[in-house]
Amino acid sequence: MSFSWIFALIVGAMILILAIYFSVKLIDLGGTEKGAKVSKDIGILLNPMETGFEEAKTTLLDVEIESEITNICEDTGIFGNQILTTSQEIFGEQKGGDVEVYFKNKYIFSEKILKGKRFYIFSKKFEFPFKITDLIFIIPEDEIYCFVGAPQEIINYTKEDLKLENIVNVSGVQSCPEKSVSVCFGGGNCKIKVDLSGKHTTKENKKVYFEGDALMYASIFSDPEIYECQLKRVMKRVANLAKLYSEKKEFILNKNCRSIANVEELFARAKSFESSENLRTINLVKEDLEEKNKYAQCKLW
Amino acid sequence: MQIMVKAQMKIQQTAFMLIALTLFFILVALFFIGFKISGLKEDVEALEEKQAKLLVSKIAASPEFTCGESYGIRNENCVDADKVLMLIQEKEKYKKFWGVDDIKIRKIYPKLPEDVVCTMANYPNCNLINILEEEVVGTYVSNFITLCRKEVEGNKFYDKCELAILMASYGKE
């Protein structure tokens, strides 16, 4: 073989390798770009989920390609962070989950990793006792939840108000569809056990506490770690809003508008909030505040 | 000798051809990356615009702004001016909270001859509330709101509501 042939073969091979390398890099970049766009888009799509006077809202998110949405919660800083990453299946491999999109005013209660093409997104107003935020729930459309012995109120709410078609209601756990996530409301051997009178949910052998409907749904649909972290973030917002109301209380006092609502105590309790176990005590402060504001001559909220 | 020269020429020819080919691929790759980046910038701008437009229509319902029931009947687009005035004392805390570059509220009725920025000292005799930034930043999108506050007359307080626009901006350089 002549030298020119050998030379051409070596350089040709090098060019081919480089071309393949850059193509792979470009596909990765495309995946990352698409993932980042989807994450940001989800965050933006969550803006219309802000409820006004209505209790809840539901929407369906379609992401075209089979995707993996990762829900990351950070509870450090003034408000903590809601982080989303999205990777997509390209040639059988997950690509582009390395761009993290941050939101400070969103609270997503879901499993840590959500897989699918279509997702149900619904929000539920959270008041403590004034409006704090809208809790957002994301569930893959093909993940079936089997509610065992759910009270009629919950059945009606999920079917008629939220229109969630991936929730089935049965009277016994043996009637649950295969591969569904069983949720027991009145005792039984389910993956998720909800004790409505004790106000706690047991999931993956971890017990989390709730107060009110919004947090009850949050404890069912989210990973226990995500639940605790988001709850801490929600309490940070409670503390900041309580501070705002405390300052407003002082300010409107100059206008002879007097309020006896002790928002300062709520501020102190919310600031020292550690875990859902503290919910019961802080809820007493909330109930007291609710009463005082309801009958006040000068309402703070 | 002639064969050697001919061989060397061929090698040179091949080498030049390969260099040209490589340069061509590099140029194509650069063009493609440039095209992608410009597309990405447009996408970012479009997403920011979408964010601001969606937010401005919903921000009045946000707990830091909403009147709730403090002014009697609930109104979806009612902003509590007393609460917002307290909010601007802590603007640093809320800088990146809503994901937009700036939020301002401009009272449009009753109209003042010129812009008077609201402070604790001149409130409520002012018409512009700078919530996040003091200056104008980026492009603003707006929505009509009712701006309510508690007023005092003699020893009694009453609710006073005025027409205003809430503006959110995006595209800060």
Average pLDDT over every residue of B153-166 = 91
Is residue A99, in this structure, part of any structural domain at all? Answer: no
Which is more confident, A213 or B156? A213
| B157/A132 CB distance under 8 A | no
User: Which of B 49-78 lie inside 8 A of A, CB atoms?
Assistant: 50-51, 54-55, 57-58, 61-64, 66, 68-70, 74, 76
Instruction: Kindly tell me if the per-residue pLDDT of B2 is higher than 80.
Output: no
Residue A89: predicted pLDDT: 81
First-to-last alpha carbon distance for chain B, in angstroms, is 67
Give, in degrees to the nearest 5, the angle at Cα B135 between B132 and B140. Answer: 75
Instruction: Kindly tell me if the per-residue pLDDT of B79 is higher than 70.
Output: yes
Which is more confident, B137 or A132? A132
Question: SS3 of A50, please?
Answer: coil
Confidence class for position A52, pLDDT limits 50, 70, 90? low
Tell me the C-alpha distance between A110 and A71, whole Å: 7
Confidence class for position A139, pLDDT limits 50, 70, 90? very high
Question: Which bin fits B108, alpha (ψ -120 to 50), beta or left (φ > 0)?
Answer: alpha
> To probe the interface with A, which of B22, B49, B82, B152 has the most A CB atoms within 10 Å?
B82
Q: Which residues of chain A have a CB within 8 Å of the CB of B55? A: 47
Nearest CA in chain B to A36: B44
- Residue A100's identity, in one-letter code, is E
User: Which of A 106-135 lie inside 8 A of B, CB atoms?
Assistant: 130-133
Summarised one tens digit per residue, pLDDT across range A244-293 is 999 999 999 988 888 888 999 999 999 999 999 999 999 999 999 999 99
Q: Let me know: does A40 contact A98? Beta carbons within 8 Å.
A: no
Residue A11: predicted pLDDT: 78
Summarised one tens digit per residue, pLDDT across range A191-244 is 999 999 999 999 999 999 999 999 999 999 999 999 999 999 999 999 999 999
Tokens encoding B53: 């437009």
What is the residue range of B30's domain?
Answer: 1-173
Residue B127: predicted pLDDT: 95
Average pLDDT over chain A reads 90
A280 — contact with chain B (CB < 8 Å)? no
- Alpha carbon separation from A214 to A122, A150, B173 (Å, rounded): 11, 16, 40
Instruction: Kindly tell me if the per-residue pLDDT of A68 is higher than 70.
Output: yes
pTM: 0.85
Average pLDDT over every residue of A126-151 = 95
Q: Let me know: does A115 contact A94? Beta carbons within 8 Å.
A: no
Tell me the C-alpha distance between A114 and A108, whole Å: 12
Neighbours of B77 (CB within 10 A): 20
- Alpha carbon separation from B72 to A128, A294, B86, B143, B150 (Å, rounded): 20, 11, 21, 22, 12
Is residue A271, in this structure, part of any structural domain at all? Answer: yes
Q: How far is CA B149 from the centre of its chain?
A: 26
Instruction: Kindly tell me if the per-residue pLDDT of A165 is higher than 70.
Output: yes
Domain tally, chain A: 1
Instruction: Kindly tell me if the per-residue pLDDT of B51 is higher than 80.
Output: no
* Residue A109 CB contacts under 8 Å (≥ 6 apart), including other chains: A135, A136, A137, A217, A218, A221, A222, A226, A227, A230
Q: Please give the ipTM for the structure prediction.
A: 0.83
Is residue A237, in this structure, part of any structural domain at all? Answer: yes
- Residue A102's identity, in one-letter code, is Y
| A252/B157 CB distance under 8 A | yes
| A247/B89 CB distance under 8 A | yes
Tell me the C-alpha distance between B136 and B130, whole Å: 9
Residue A55: predicted pLDDT: 63
B89 — contact with chain A (CB < 8 Å)? yes
Confidence class for position B88, pLDDT limits 50, 70, 90? very high
First-to-last alpha carbon distance for chain A, in angstroms, is 89
| A40/B47 CB distance under 8 A | yes
- Alpha carbon separation from B154 to A227, A255, A297 (Å, rounded): 50, 9, 17
What is the residue range of A244's domain?
Answer: 230-294
| A47/B63 CB distance under 8 A | no
Tell me the C-alpha distance between A81 and A289, whole Å: 28
Which is more confident, B173 or B131? B131
Instruction: Kindly tell me if the per-residue pLDDT of A20 is higher than 90.
Output: no
- How do strand A145-148 and strand A181-184 relate by DSSP bridges? parallel
Average pLDDT over every residue of B14-23 = 83
- How do strand A167-170 and strand A145-148 relate by DSSP bridges? parallel
pLDDT cut 90: percent of chain B above it: 44
* Nearest alpha-carbon partner for A221 in A117, A144, A132: A144
Residue B28: predicted pLDDT: 87
Of residues B7, B64, B96, nearest to A104 (C-beta): B96
| B86/A248 CB distance under 8 A | yes
Is residue A262, in this structure, part of any structural domain at all? Answer: yes
Q: What is the DSSP letter of B54?
A: H
Q: Give per-residue burial for A102-135: e unless 16+ CB within 10 Å, then b.
A: bbbbbbbbbbeebbbeebbbbbbbbebbbbbbbb
Domain tally, chain B: 1
Residue A54: predicted pLDDT: 60
B22 — contact with chain A (CB < 8 Å)? yes
> What is the C-alpha radius of gyration for chain B, rounded to an integer number of angstroms?
30
Q: Determine the length of chain B.
A: 173
Confidence class for position B173, pLDDT limits 50, 70, 90? low
Of A132-136, A194-198, B57-61, the range with the lowest mean pLDDT is B57-61
Instruction: Kindly tell me if the per-residue pLDDT of A297 is higher than 90.
Output: no
- How do strand B102-109 and strand B128-130 relate by DSSP bridges? antiparallel
Q: What is the DSSP letter of B66?
A: B
Average pLDDT over every residue of A18-34 = 79
Residue B53: predicted pLDDT: 80
Instruction: Kindly tell me if the per-residue pLDDT of B21 is higher than 80.
Output: yes
Residue A53: predicted pLDDT: 57
Of A140-149, A237-246, B54-63, B81-90, the range with the lowest mean pLDDT is B54-63
Is residue A120, in this structure, part of any structural domain at all? Answer: no
Residue A179: predicted pLDDT: 92
Residue A7: predicted pLDDT: 77
Let me know how many helices (H) and strands (E) chain B has, helices first: 2, 5
Residue A34: predicted pLDDT: 74
Q: How far is CA A226 from the centre of its chain?
A: 8
Is residue A68, in this structure, part of any structural domain at all? Answer: no
Which is more confident, A96 or A115? A115
B134 — contact with chain A (CB < 8 Å)? no
| A103/B69 CB distance under 8 A | no
Instruction: Kindly tell me if the per-residue pLDDT of A8 is higher than 80.
Output: no
Confidence class for position A37, pLDDT limits 50, 70, 90? confident
Tokens encoding A287: 């109930």
Residue A51: predicted pLDDT: 62
* Nearest alpha-carbon partner for A119 in A41, A196, A17: A41
Residue A6: predicted pLDDT: 83
